[in-house]
Amino acid sequence: MQSRGFLAVLLSGCTFAWACADGEILDGADLTEQEGEGERAFPGMVGDLERAVIEGPGGPMEVEYEAFEGRAIFEGDIELNVGEPTLRSLGSKKEMLWKDGIVPYAFHKKLGQSSRRDITTAMETWNRLTGIRFVARTDERDYVEFVTGKGCDSLVGRQGGRQIIHAAYCKAGGAMHEIGHALGLWHEQSRPDRDEYVEIHRGRISPRGRHNFNKVNGLVVGAYDYGSIMHYRPNEWSWTGRPTITPRRPLSPGVVMGQRKAPSSGDIATILALYDLTAPSPDQGPGPNPDPKPNPNGECGGLDYKGRCADSVVEWCESGKLKRYECAKLGKGCGWFNDREGFDCVDKRCVDLNYTGRCSGATAEWCKDGVFKRKDCAAAGKSCVLTESDGYYCE
């Protein structure tokens, strides 16, 4: 196994008090959606609880984590680098950052198109807000690889060599969160000063989740940021359905604790400070394209026949000409069309669903060639499961 010898320092979501007293959310059009639980490396599974002492920026610290399949999972979705014979985490800030704010990335070949689209949205969002650039890897030694899998997890900071991010089923907001870890951010509610800002209701936390609410002895900068995309959701690890984390003071209007819409102004300020970047001006439009390849297609701007979706408009390139079609005219949305290996107008229910599909209770739902499919597994005395090769189906 490749040696990955460093853990990043603990960095909270907020660096400049003036910039983010309450973590104003920048992209806050729809903040009502609030899912109960957040990102999990191994959803629904229980690992062996283990302890280790790691060398943090504030000195040695003991951490509890769950061991799954030889991996050390901390706070649900952070993979710790298990050194030999103990965890090690030496390293300075600079060592765990991505040089010049450039993150080489690769998609595993099995990663579905819908996941690629969400992850690309996540990379573009970080790029637009902070100027961090994501470039398709050629031969860089250090890079992230987005790999399919049931869960959502990432290591923290640049680890050296190939490091895996699982974000296939966390949607764009969850992918932003996992990328935040890879950029060097830990969970906001792990800050040593968090008890001044949030109350942890230990009696409501499921026994297997209690170790995920320990504090981490790391570096803290800036004000506590309730709106950080790195903050736990209120119902995290709850076994009573009641909140396990509640704020000790009223949140500013528009601030949602545990939101996964976009990095907060505090998250942005932290990344800008860490990487010594200047926020891209809105007047300049988006920052550099996350995948700046030469443009062989003239007016198509790098777009190929597979195309892309811009809301409900499908755009693609044909014979060097940019083509567009408004799917709404057909009462449809834009999504992945398996048979044509490209984007096209599809059933609206397929917009966020690819061939891999999902489980909706005991019902398997997926899309094939733009047509929505559904199978009631319970009626056949089966349950809906995810398999490596066939996506979700009844078994």
Binding site for Zn ion (CB under 5 A): 77
Residue 136: both structure tokens together: 């398709």
State in angstroms the smallest separation of the CB of 125 from Zn ion.
16
Among this protein's residues, is 178 annotated catalytic? Answer: yes
Length of the chain: 395
State in angstroms the smallest separation of the CB of 165 from Zn ion.
11
State in angstroms the smallest separation of the CB of 353 from Zn ion.
24
In this structure, are residues 173 and 42 in contact, taking their beta carbons and an 8 Å threshold?
no
Specify the residue, 77 or 225, whose C-beta has the smaller distance to Zn ion. Answer: 77
Per annotation, catalytic residue among 178, 188, 236, 365: 178
State in angstroms the smallest separation of the CB of 128 from Zn ion.
21
Specify the residue, 78 or 353, whose C-beta has the smaller distance to Zn ion. Answer: 78
In this structure, are residues 237 and 227 in contact, taking their beta carbons and an 8 Å threshold?
no
Specify the residue, 238 or 312, whose C-beta has the smaller distance to Zn ion. Answer: 238
Specify the residue, 212 or 338, whose C-beta has the smaller distance to Zn ion. Answer: 212
* Selection from 265, 290, 276, 292 nearest residue 129 by Cα: 265
Strand-pairing partners, residue 165, are 146
Compute the C-alpha angle 14/16/21, nearest 5°.
Answer: 70
Burial 17-54 (b: 16+ CB within 10 A, else e): eebbbbbbbbebeeeeeeeeebbbbbeeeebeeeebeb
Active site residue ranges: 178
